[in-house]
């Protein structure tokens, strides 16, 4: 029997597995996706979109308004995100504390855990010399309009941009282990020390007993059963919530599946007379840092994407669509990420256990979106953009909630010790426990909460 | 969805359909089965039905409820397959020109370790 089974290998699962293994526990890390390495990640956007994401890259809410980007591979979504590493502020933690009643959710009490997790990864804050035209247009316009902005802090090291490397490629997995995904800073480190990892293992159901947990699943379509003293579920907001629902916990946990939020992201493209080449070199170096935006519930990101993703966002077809795509090199992009209300989102399953995500933008969410989009249009105007192209779609990369942490069993799923209420052998510490949207990139804090949880597990 | 347009070749001429399994092969089996059935039916339909269908997909973003959810989902799915292959950088065996990806000026350098 294992001491621990960890389900999921992203920022949370990777951290827990690494820490528990290092402490000497008998542990296995299960991951539904494949085990890609820096030299085996798919090379093209088409291939990585199909192979690295759940649903072959196409996963939507029940109304098909929003597309979700959720990775299915060892390292989880940290493989396909930008690894922007921001700590949460008082605004985020105060809201969490108020909603959950959990005392340790504060900047001061989380600080030692942030410091420990940050010490495990290589962090870099960009400087002026590393920015390209896309970022320079953004910062010049922000300065002109009086909006505060900042250089971003990213988990990265030795990216060889100065030698011509284009970092947008690492959105399909970093091919030099420079980006600080959980694969790089936790999973592979623990693997070298002997951590057992079972990829392509889909957990179907868990059963809780007084002194152990049974894990039922399939590995490469072969039925498997694993017995463990404790299980840590870290399959992300969708994966963890779906597993809990499929395992029949909804009857005892009324809050299960509630409070889904995602920082819905709306992208606008400005078209210029001379090439911007936003896909070259460091591709995301600056973002908004304006206290007024924070108060108004949104932030702006100076992002971009490869052609298939950009093409998917435009509403047109045929020649009109191609005419926009011909301007790919001349485009700059800014997105607004809304700090959305958890009341508008719910995760459930159908009779076959298939995921159903309901996400309705509340009136407040819409106001925040519209204020953000109007701000972006002003920025493009100040930049001298010749044309602004919008999109009917929005997407979610920061998937949060469904198994909220809290002291009240009626309103939450996980207690302040990260145990599922009434089930002492089941733990959760990934983004599914977030009581609300922080309005800040969630990955670093997911790893930090998992650092805290794993230290408590080791002590006990 | 992707006709000939200046230097850009049409979808059928560049032969990227030969790589459709690279996209569809990883999507859920039932979704692909349903989409395949729909596309088979559409292939027998006259042009005016196809034009209505494309318009319905495009208009669905301004509507709520009814069939609009289904048309939005189809818009995602069909666009995903067509744009996914058209801008993949891959072309058919009998096509000798530049790919649409090259023609829009996209290229990235990879310095592998």
What is the complex's ipTM, to 2 decimals? Answer: 0.94
Residue-wise pLDDT for A224-251, tens only, equals: 999 999 999 999 999 999 999 999 999 9
Q: How far apart are CA B24 and CA B88, in angstroms?
A: 13
* Per-residue model confidence (pLDDT) at position B23: 84
Within a domain: B96: yes
List the single residue in B26, B76, B87 with the smallest CB-CB distance to A60: B76
Q: How far apart are CA A32 and CA A45, in angstroms?
A: 21
Phi, psi of A281 (to 5 degrees): 60, -145
What pairs with residue A356 in β-bridges?
A348
* Per-residue model confidence (pLDDT) at position A393: 84
Residue-wise pLDDT for B7-24, tens only, equals: 999 999 999 999 988 888
Within a domain: B110: no
* Per-residue model confidence (pLDDT) at position A340: 98
Q: What angle do CA A182, A354, A52 make, to 5 degrees?
A: 30
Q: Which two tokens stand for residue A198?
A: 């079972």
Name the pairing type of β-strands A387-389 and A355-359: unpaired
CB contact under 8 A, A329 and B104: yes
Q: Hey, is A388 helix, strand or coil?
A: strand
List the single residue in B3, B69, B84 with the smallest CB-CB distance to A318: B3
For residue B106, give the chain A residue with the closest CA: A329
Of A50, A188, A269, A359, which to mutate for an interface test with B (greatest number of B Cβ within 10 Å)? Answer: A50
pLDDT over threshold 80, residue B113: no
Q: What is the dihedral angle through the alpha carbons of B62, B32, A74, A227, rounded to the nearest 10 degrees?
A: 110
Of A112, A362, A61, the residue nearest A238 (C-alpha): A61
How many helical (H) and strand (E) elements, i.e. helices and strands, does chain B have? 6, 0
CB contact under 8 A, A318 and B85: no
Of B62, B83, B91, which to mutate for an interface test with A (greatest number of A Cβ within 10 Å)? Answer: B83
CB contact under 8 A, B109 and A65: no
* Domain membership of residue B60 as a residue range: 11-103
Q: How far is A18 from chain B (nearest CA, A)?
A: 25
Q: Which residues of B touch A38 (CB under 8 A)?
A: 112-113
Q: Which residues of A touch B88 (CB under 8 A)?
A: 44-47, 308
CB contact under 8 A, B31 and A323: no
Within a domain: B111: no
* Per-residue model confidence (pLDDT) at position A153: 98
Q: Structural domain tally of chain B?
A: 1
Q: How far apart are CA A80 and CA A85, in angstroms?
A: 14
Which pTM does this prediction carry? 0.96
**DSSP letter, residue A299:** E
Within a domain: B6: no
The 10 Å CB-count burial string (b at 16+, else e) for A405-440 is: bbeeeebbbbbbebbbbebebbbbbbbbbbbbbbbb
Phi, psi of A113 (to 5 degrees): -80, -35
Helix axes A11-22, A443-459, angle to 10 degrees: 30
Q: How far apart are CA A303 and CA A168, in angstroms?
A: 10
Answer with the residue of higher pLDDT: B27 or A123: A123
CB contact under 8 A, B80 and A312: yes
Cβ(A125)–Cβ(A151) below 8 Å: yes
How many other β-carbons are positioned within 10 Å of the β-carbon of residue A353?
A: 13
The separation between CA A410 and the C-alpha centre of its own chain, rounded to angstroms, equals: 27
Q: How far is B40 from chain A (nearest CA, A)?
A: 20
Which domains, ranges and CATH numbers included, belong to chain A? 1-36+86-120+181-260+400-460 (3.50.50.60)
CB contact under 8 A, B111 and A176: yes
Q: Which two tokens stand for residue A18?
A: 């690494």
Of B17, B24, B9, B20, the residue nearest B93 (C-alpha): B17
CB contact under 8 A, A317 and B106: no
Q: Which residues of B touch A311 (CB under 8 A)?
A: 79, 83, 87
Within a domain: B78: yes
How many other β-carbons are positioned within 10 Å of the β-carbon of residue B38?
A: 14
Cβ(A14)–Cβ(A75) below 8 Å: yes
CB contact under 8 A, B108 and A39: no
**B64 pLDDT band (50/70/90 cuts)?**
confident
Within a domain: B5: no
Of A447, A428, A424, the residue nearest A242 (C-alpha): A428
CB contact under 8 A, A56 and B111: no
Within a domain: B109: no
Residues 254-313 (A) with a CB less than 8 A from some CB of B: 275, 279-280, 306-308, 311-312
* Cβ within 8 Å of residue A247, ≥6 positions away: A205, A206, A207
Q: Which residues of B touch A45 (CB under 8 A)?
A: 87-88
Cβ(A190)–Cβ(A22) below 8 Å: yes
Residue-wise pLDDT for B65-86, tens only, equals: 889 999 998 998 889 889 999 9
Q: How far apart are CA A448 and CA A93, in angstroms?
A: 13
List the single residue in A160, A279, A325 with the smallest CB-CB distance to B111: A160
CB contact under 8 A, B3 and A169: no
**DSSP letter, residue B89:** S
Within a domain: B2: no
Residues 363-392 (A) with a CB less than 8 A from some CB of B: 392
What residue ranges of chain A have pLDDT lower than 70?
none
List the single residue in B5, B31, B110 with the smallest CB-CB distance to A175: B110
């Amino acid at each position: 029997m294992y001491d621990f089974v960890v389900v999921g290998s992203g920022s949370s699962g990777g951290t827990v597995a690494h820490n528990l293994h290092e402490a000497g526990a008998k542990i296995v890390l299960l991951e539904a996706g494949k085990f890609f390495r820096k030299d085996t990640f798919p090379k093209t956007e088409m291939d990585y979109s199909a192979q690295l994401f759940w649903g072959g890259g196409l996963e939507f809410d029940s109304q098909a308004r929003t597309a979700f980007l959720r990775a299915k591979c060892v390292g989880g979504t940290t493989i396909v995100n930008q690894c922007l590493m921001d700590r949460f502020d008082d605004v985020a933690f105060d809201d969490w504390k108020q909603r959950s009643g959990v005392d340790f959710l504060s900047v001061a009490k989380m600080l030692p855990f942030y410091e420990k997790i940050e010490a495990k990864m290589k962090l870099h804050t960009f400087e002026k010399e590393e920015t390209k035209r896309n970022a320079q247009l953004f910062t010049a316009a922000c300065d002109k309009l009086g909006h505060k902005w900042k250089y971003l802090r990213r988990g990265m090291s030795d990216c060889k941009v100065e030698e011509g490397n284009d970092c947008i490629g690492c959105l399909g997995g970093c091919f030099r282990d420079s980006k600080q995904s959980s694969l790089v800073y936790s999973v592979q480190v623990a693997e070298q020390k002997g951590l057992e990892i079972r990829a392509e293992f889909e957990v179907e159901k868990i059963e809780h007993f007084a002194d152990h947990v049974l894990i039922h699943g399939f590995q490469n379509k072969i039925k498997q059963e694993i017995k463990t003293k404790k299980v840590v579920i870290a399959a992300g907001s969708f994966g963890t919530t779906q597993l809990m629902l499929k395992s029949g916990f909804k009857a005892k946990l009324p809050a299960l599946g509630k409070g889904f939020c995602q920082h819905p992201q709306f992208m606008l493209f400005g078209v210029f007379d001379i090439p911007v080449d936003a896909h070259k070199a460091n591709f995301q170096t600056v973002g908004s840092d304006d206290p007024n935006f924070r108060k108004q519930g949104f932030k702006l990101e100076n992002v971009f994407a490869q052609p298939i993703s950009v093409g998917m966002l435009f509403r047109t077809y045929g020649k009109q669509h191609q005419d926009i795509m011909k301007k790919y090199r001349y485009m700059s992009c800014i997105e607004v990420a809304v700090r959305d209300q958890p009341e508008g989102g719910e995760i459930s399953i159908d009779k076959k256990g298939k995921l159903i995500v309901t996400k309705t933008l509340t009136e407040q969410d819409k106001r925040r979106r519209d204020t953000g989009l109007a701000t972006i249009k002003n920025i493009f105007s100040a930049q001298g953009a010749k044309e602004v192209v919008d999109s009917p779609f929005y997407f979610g990369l920061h998937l949060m909630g469904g198994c909220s942490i809290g002291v009240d069993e009626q309103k939450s799923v996980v207690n302040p010790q990260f145990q599922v209420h009434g089930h002492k052998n089941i733990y959760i510490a990934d983004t599914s426990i977030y009581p609300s949207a922080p309005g800040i990139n969630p990955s670093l804090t997911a790893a930090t909460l998992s650092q805290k949880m794993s230290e408590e597990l080791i002590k006990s | 969805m992707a006709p000939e347009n200046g230097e850009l070749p049409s979808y059928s001429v560049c032969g990227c359909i030969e790589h459709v399994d690279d996209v569809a092969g990883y999507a859920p089996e039932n979704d692909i089965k349903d989409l395949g059935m729909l596309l088979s039916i559409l292939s027998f339909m006259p042009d005016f039905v196809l034009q209505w269908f494309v318009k319905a997909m495009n208009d669905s973003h301004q509507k709520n409820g009814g069939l609009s959810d289904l048309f939005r989902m189809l818009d995602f799915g069909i666009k995903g397959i067509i744009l996914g292959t058209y801008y993949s950088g891959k072309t058919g065996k009998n096509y000798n020109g530049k790919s649409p990806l090259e023609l829009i000026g996209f290229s990235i350098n990879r310095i592998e370790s």
